[in-house]
A and B are shown apart, each in its own frame.
Chain A
Amino acid sequence: MDTIYYLVLVPMIYLAFFVFSVGTIIRLINIWRKPKFPTTLQIYPEKKPSWLWTLFDTFLLNSARRHNPVLWFFLMVFHFCFLLLIIGHLELIKDFRILQIIEHEIFLGKGFIGLILSISLIFFLFRRFVSPTKDLSVPEDYYLLILLFLAVIFGSEMDWARTLYGYEEMGVEDYRGYLMSLFLLKPDISFVDAPGHSFMLVLHVFFANLFLMFFPFSKIIHSFLSLPLNKLRRG
């Protein structure tokens, strides 16, 4: 059991980050090296300044809002919460003064972020079982949602344990110790091997690792391509 814990919490994390960063960079470089398209691909009428509208389209999902408000609501909530989670995880490595401009507890949202994410993911998953979205979906779409859901639910569980029923064995400082050790290439999992919840951590990290390794080979690459594509449409 200890070996499995170690494998997931140390080598697999390194592997996941390696695959994620190298894979993503190679994929983006591959796109970058393709020839330019000789003419415009924009949609009219155009609105100026086009870069501002591009940002609007990309980050506020303007077209989704207009054509599928319910889905838009969940998409906005999901992506925003995901951003907060990234911030939360960064703060689990160390204190970032800049992130504490608005003072908050580490892991914002008192456990609600995870809950909202889980609900959104269930919504995304369920709508893929209904036509016409069902007819469009391929296995990748389901797997990604399930992977994310599992990563989120086990991750949230650790947070809920702290906030909801006063579990204090593994706290922010322990995670910091562990993550910092990974970061400094002197891995030490003794910070996070407390009984009970380390099991959750291992599951959380395991699914998150899988997700990260899948990332560069999947449609999640849209997180990088949405902006340039929206710019093409705005001209």
Chain B
Amino acid sequence: MEEKLREELIKLFESKLSKPMQMYLETCSRCGICTPACHAYASMPQAKYTPAYRAEVVRRIFKKYFKLQGKIAPALGAAKVLDENTLDELYEAAYSCTGCRRCMVYCPFGIDTQQIMSIAKLLLIGANAEPELLTMLADVSVSKGEGIEDMKESFMQGLKRLEDQVLEKWKMEAGEMEAGETPIPIDVEGADLLYVALAGAHSIIPAAAVFNAAGEKWTLSFFEAVNFGAFVGDPTKTKLILDRIVNEANRLKVKEVCICECGTAFRVMKQMSGSQPFEVSSITDVHAKYIREGKIKLDKSKLNLPVTYHDPCQIARNGGVIDAPRYVLQQLGADYRELSADPKYNWCCGGGGGLVAMGDETHDFRMKSAKVKADQVQQTEAKILATACENCHAQLSDISKHYNMDVEVKYLSSMVADALIQ
């Protein structure tokens, strides 16, 4: 590796050294208590899949360039020079970690492996060694935002095609609709709620039906919720993708920004948007609120099969939305079974951190590392596996195919929309 590149990478590393990060890097005593916490290790017991080992890959570089110990006696802490080999190790560590933070619950100090892996991801970007696909997706996403004026037309056209399907789920009487109102309102200034969806019908239709049924004054965002910048670990792109939603929300003066079923999008919006004049909520929270306030009524007789719910890591353990989905399922009349007695110990689906978006490239690893997840689901004997995250949904669908599981993977929001009583 050229000296100049190495220096740049070390600068990038330094840019990540916040107070907590410095402490995470200094503290690990390599006690190994985190070892069984990782789904990858639990499914494939190899040392490289233990959280402490992954973090140590980054920590060794830290010791080399930022610690006196690594400068005086590098052998003591096995400090490592940053070179091509180390980059390979960083790749392996960062892209076999889904950032679920289950290990953080095990660690006696509470070290956040996802944070440490964010250094690995940033170094890989700096060395042009990150997964091309994720950068491509982040660039496309950024570009869509920049060209939003040109694309509004085709976006609206695409939406028009969905309106009938929204009306199928929830009929709006002509009288109910005020002038200019449509089943999928967009760009409505003064609306109460801005719904940020994914660029796909499944994320818009059911949500629109429920909003309309609840009589919500809502408007759909021009932007997609998913933050590919966060997947690839690029802070600049993450912020670009986040900020345009924040700006749109402020321009439309909404009181609430509701994020669709996407774990990353929710956590980034909820925790990184700073202090804003609007609240950030997940669509599951909003649905639970509608039911509680009697704004929507659900048919309790529709779910005849046992149901379990997969807590998306970024929404539950890392985002705090835990009670709402359980309440919604109860109101759906579900024969509900918990996957994990304590939701903070739920196994990751194995698809987070951008792994699902990388598609076939990661399929083999995703299936093998999700063995524990498959077992966990099968133990509940549930026939319906609900979840509230696009990534988890895609991964769980792959798992159920791969392990021949007799279970149907469903979006919780779709289940709510399907059970609406007119």
Contact = CB atoms under 8 A, between A and B. Distances in A.
Name which of A67, A137, A218 has the most chain B CB atoms within 10 A of its CB: A67
Contacts, number: 147
B344 A37 contact: no
Nearest to A221: B26
B177 interface: no
B76 A229 contact: no
A27 B107 CA distance: 23
B26 A219 contact: yes
Contacts of B274: 38
Given A67-B36, A229-B109, A35 B19 contact: yes
B22 A31 contact: yes
A63 B75 contact: no
Given A68-B33, A221-B26, A38 B318 contact: no
Contacts of B56: 136, 138
B10 interface: no
A217 B317 contact: no
Contacts of B22: 30-31, 34
Contacts of A143: 76
Contacts of A165: none
A45 to B, nearest CB: 5
A139 B78 contact: yes
A40 B109 contact: no
A141 interface: yes
Nearest to B53: A136
A131 interface: yes
Contact of B316 (A36, A44, A228): A44
Contact of A233 (B17, B26, B110): B110
B290 interface: no
A43 B318 contact: yes
A63 B37 CA distance: 11
Interface string B317-357: 11110100000000000000000000110000000000000
B109 A136 contact: no
Interface in A22-37: 27, 30-32, 34-37
A99 interface: no
B53 to A, nearest CB: 6
Contacts of A234: 110
B68 A64 contact: no
B379 interface: no
A140 interface: yes
A31 to B, nearest CB: 5
B30 interface: yes
B343 A45 contact: yes
Given A44-B320, A136-B52, A226 B27 contact: yes
Nearest to B66: A30
Contact of B32 (A32, A41, A57, A132): A132
For the residues of A in contact with B, the DSSP-based class is helix
Interface in A110-155: 127, 131-133, 135-141, 143
Interface in A215-235: 217-219, 221-222, 225-226, 228-230, 232-234
A184 to B, nearest CB: 32
A190 interface: no
Contacts of B78: 138-139
A173 interface: no
A41 B115 contact: yes
A36 B18 contact: yes
Contact of B272 (A35, A39, A45, A217): A39
A19 B29 CA distance: 21
Contacts of B29: 141, 219, 222
Given A219-B26, A219-B27, A229 B343 contact: no
A130 to B, nearest CB: 10
A184 B202 CA distance: 77
A135 B53 contact: yes
Name which of A37, A44, A226 has the most chain B CB atoms within 10 A of its CB: A44
B12 to A, nearest CB: 15
Given A75-B108, A139-B77, A222-B27, 10 more contacts: A31-B23, A37-B21, A43-B105, A44-B344, A45-B320, A63-B107, A131-B47, A135-B47, A222-B28, A232-B112
Interface of A: 27, 30-32, 34-41, 43-46, 57, 61, 63-64, 67-68, 71, 75, 127, 131-133, 135-141, 143, 217-219, 221-222, 225-226, 228-230, 232-234
9 contacts: A32-B19, A34-B18, A37-B18, A37-B21, A40-B271, A41-B115, A139-B77, A140-B76, A229-B20
